[in-house]
Structure 1
Amino acid sequence: RTILNEPVVMYRATDGIVALEDRCCHRALPLSMGKVVGDKLQCGYHGLEFDASGRCVKVPGQSKIPPGAQVRSYPVLKKYGWVWIWTGDPAKAEPDQIPDWWWLESPEWRTIPGRGGTPMHLNANYLLVSDNLFDISHLTYVHASSIGADSIVDFPVKTERWEDEKRVKMSRVIYDRPAAPFYQKAGQFEGNVDRWIMTTSDLPCYMASDAGSVEVGTGVTPGEVGPERGVEMKIMNLPTPETETSTHYFYSHCRHFEIASDEWDEIYRTQFTAVFDEDKAVLEGQQMRMSEFSDAAEIDINADAPNVQVRRMIDEMIAAEQEELLGAYKSA
């Protein structure tokens, strides 16, 4: 798998997941074309073997390992059913930066991995996913038959930003309006509902969406809506950049109702595969035209306020990292 333009191969060793540069240092065959031998990864061309650190530990036909026989290894951690990889300076890998998505492990929530745990491949930049999640006015037009509603754009969007945590939150509450088709099916509401949609991004690309509906006037309290009051769900989004114009989109759903229902598991799989496919068509269409019209200017509208904050903070993060690298280069 390619991550941030870097080919990476992963395999399971006795003590956990290993991630290495997907290139043999001998004649450049992808190590992913080899096989696992014990806790080592064997090149499929000439049989060189590499350990978890990326060091070559065996060259068939000779006892001496050539100097520099090494490939890059990456810090990895398994959590919430995903493998998290750090492609930057290994000394700066901080597991605490993984968001606290405790509901993924809570018995009070039912978790359904998107596409059975397989990422959706997008021919689009990962920031377009962020735009999509932070501008929910698109639900009215892209997802009209499932989670959309005409009333969404009638209510203001709220944007919050936390500098120290590198976090941006978008929220929108829709009062006293008909339930969207999916929520009506889940909640069996007899009248209008109050509905909320919020997305929190731990930058640059960890995004948790919380959405739900309750009967009008019973109180919109995200995270505290049990099945006796209404319908609440969360979607964890991990768009992982492959290249500048492609993304591995990992996601998972949690629901706070019908948590023991196999029928609702299947409804989720079917419904949200269709929803994400609708988004995929839009995002790839955007990227195609953006690539063709690379010099064309874009405009912003009111609904873009959260996206503007996300892009601005990511730009600030990139600038700070580049300044740090430049300082290190000058002092070397």
Structure 2
Amino acid sequence: MFIRNCWYVAAWQEELTSQPLARTILAEPIVLYRTASGQVSALEDRCVHRSLPLSMGRVCGEHLVCAYHGLSYDHAGRCVHIPAQDVIPKNAQIRRYPVVEKDNVIWIWMGDSTRADETSVPDYPWHSDPGWAHKKSYRHIAAYYELIHDNLIDLSHVGWVHEKTIGGTPEAHSRAEVKVVRSEDQVSVRRWMRDSVPPPTYVKAVDFKGNIDRWMEIRFRPGLVSIYVGANEAGKGVDEDHYRNTFGARIFNGVTPETEHSTHYFWTAAHNFKVDQPAATEALFKEVYATFEEDKMVLESQHSRMRDLPGAPTIDLISDAGGNQARRLVKEKIEEELRHVPVPA
């Protein structure tokens, strides 16, 4: 099941043009597009006439036109023109989804539109902060979205799965000092690894000569997992004044469920070193891309085996504390929504 009353990443800003974009979100078919005036719209992806996907149509000015019989829709989902007749039925209406364009991201609200508070859209200023450079990507993952949450929140796997990139010493990750904090709407996990071996990605980025002190912060809220990692030479420590770290990287992880068995994964890798060197941005991106490809293989294999053996018992580890808090948060939000579902008369 899914939380519906929250903001999810629907697309990157540049994905939306006058060419309609089809995307399934929370098992609902959506069509996203940009009108001639630049307005972003998200509608139910079907024509009221015979349900042809509107994503097969085209944008004409401010309207989306069905490719079957030319019915035109405005940004609110109302049919405003039918070429074959002058009368437009009162029920010629499809669902409109609230959308917000912010920080190079298109956010969508899948729940009760009256509760869609635009001020609650997550801030991510590092997509435009001149002190940071970044590059973005998208992956489709054939796995349940909460498995992705687990993977991003519990970084103890890094030393085992990502040995060739961001890993370092596996034992250092497994024995990291960890602090988990839960609030009503988010989970924060902080990890410290002092005097540890620098991973290949860090060495390539800033040429560490010896051991390092590493610091990681993971912030989870439904729809977005933000990760900040920092490092200094061992002994200098890693404080919370992020800009003092020799190596600093921020990873944006937009986790948007597609179905119970698949997820849209939007991510960016930003860095605060060599920000005026595009080659450095590209090099970090390639390292993180390789890392996420390894994660994708793990996640899809997990999900496949869970489908093969439904109900098979599993255990929790100490490192699952943050991920388990995130699962509880998701469960509580879903249960709260179900309690407020109107009962049919």
TM-score range, shorter chain: over 0.9
Q: Give the secondary-structure state (helix, strand or coil) at the position aligned to 2:235.
A: coil
Shift of 1:137: 1.2
Amino acid across the alignment from 2:343: Y
Amino acid across the alignment from 2:295: D
Structure 1's unaligned 5+ residue stretches are none
Q: Give the secondary-structure state (helix, strand or coil) at the position aligned to 1:73.
A: coil
Distance 1:101 1:83 in 2: 12
TM-score computed with the length of structure 2 as normaliser: 0.90
Shift of 1:125: 1.0
Percent identity among equivalent residues? 41
Q: Which residue of 1 aligns with 2:28?
A: 6
Q: Which residue of 2 aligns with 1:16?
A: 39
Amino acid across the alignment from 2:228: D
Amino acid across the alignment from 1:149: G
Distance 1:319 1:61 in 2: 46
Distance 2:213 2:309 in 1: 41
Distance 1:160 1:235 in 2: 20
Is 2:195 the counterpart of 1:176? yes
In structure 2, which of residues 34, 56, 60 is the aligned counterpart of residue 37 of structure 1?
60
Q: Which residue of 1 aligns with 2:98?
A: 75
Q: Which residue of 2 aligns with 1:108?
A: 131
Amino acid across the alignment from 1:329: V
Q: Which residue of 2 aligns with 1:278?
A: 294
After TM superposition, the structure 1 = structure 2 runs for residues 165-244 of structure 1, keeping only pairs within 5 Å, are 166-202=185-221, 204-226=222-244, 229-244=245-260
Distance 1:232 1:263 in 2: 16
Q: Which residue of 2 aligns with 1:291?
A: 307
Q: Which residue of 2 aligns with 1:126?
A: 145
Distance 2:145 2:135 in 1: 22
Q: Which residue of 2 aligns with 1:138?
A: 157
Q: Is the 8 A contact 1:42 1:48 kept in 2?
A: yes
Distance 2:73 2:126 in 1: 38
1:245-280 Cα deviation digits (max 9, x unpaired)? 101100111101010111112212321211111111
Is 2:176 the counterpart of 1:161? no
Distance 2:201 2:87 in 1: 64
Shift of 1:223: 4.7
Distance 1:155 1:15 in 2: 48
Please tell me the root mean square deviation across aligned C-alpha atoms, in Å. 1.4
Distance 1:188 1:91 in 2: 52
Distance 1:30 1:154 in 2: 51
Amino acid across the alignment from 1:157: V
Structure 2's unaligned 5+ residue stretches are 1-22
Task: Tell me the number of residue pairs that the alignment of Structure 1 and Structure 2 aligns.
Answer: 320
In structure 2, which of residues 75, 78, 93 is the aligned counterpart of residue 52 of structure 1?
75
- Does 1 or 2 have the higher relative contact order (CA < 8 Å, sep 6+)? 2
Amino acid across the alignment from 2:58: K
Q: Is the 8 A contact 1:57 1:65 kept in 2?
A: yes
Shift of 1:156: 3.0
Question: In the superposition, relative to structure 1, how do residues 239 and 83 fare at CA in structure 2: closer, same or farther (>3 Å)?
Answer: same
More displaced stretch, 240-249 vs 294-303: 294-303
Q: Which residue of 1 aligns with 2:10?
A: none
Q: Is the 8 A contact 1:76 1:84 kept in 2?
A: yes
Is 2:337 the counterpart of 1:321? yes
1:58-85 Cα deviation digits (max 9, x unpaired)? 1112111123111111110111111101
TM-score computed with the length of structure 1 as normaliser: 0.93
Q: Is the 8 A contact 1:210 1:222 kept in 2?
A: no
Shift of 1:16: 1.2
Q: Which residue of 2 aligns with 1:253?
A: 269
Is 2:89 the counterpart of 1:66? yes
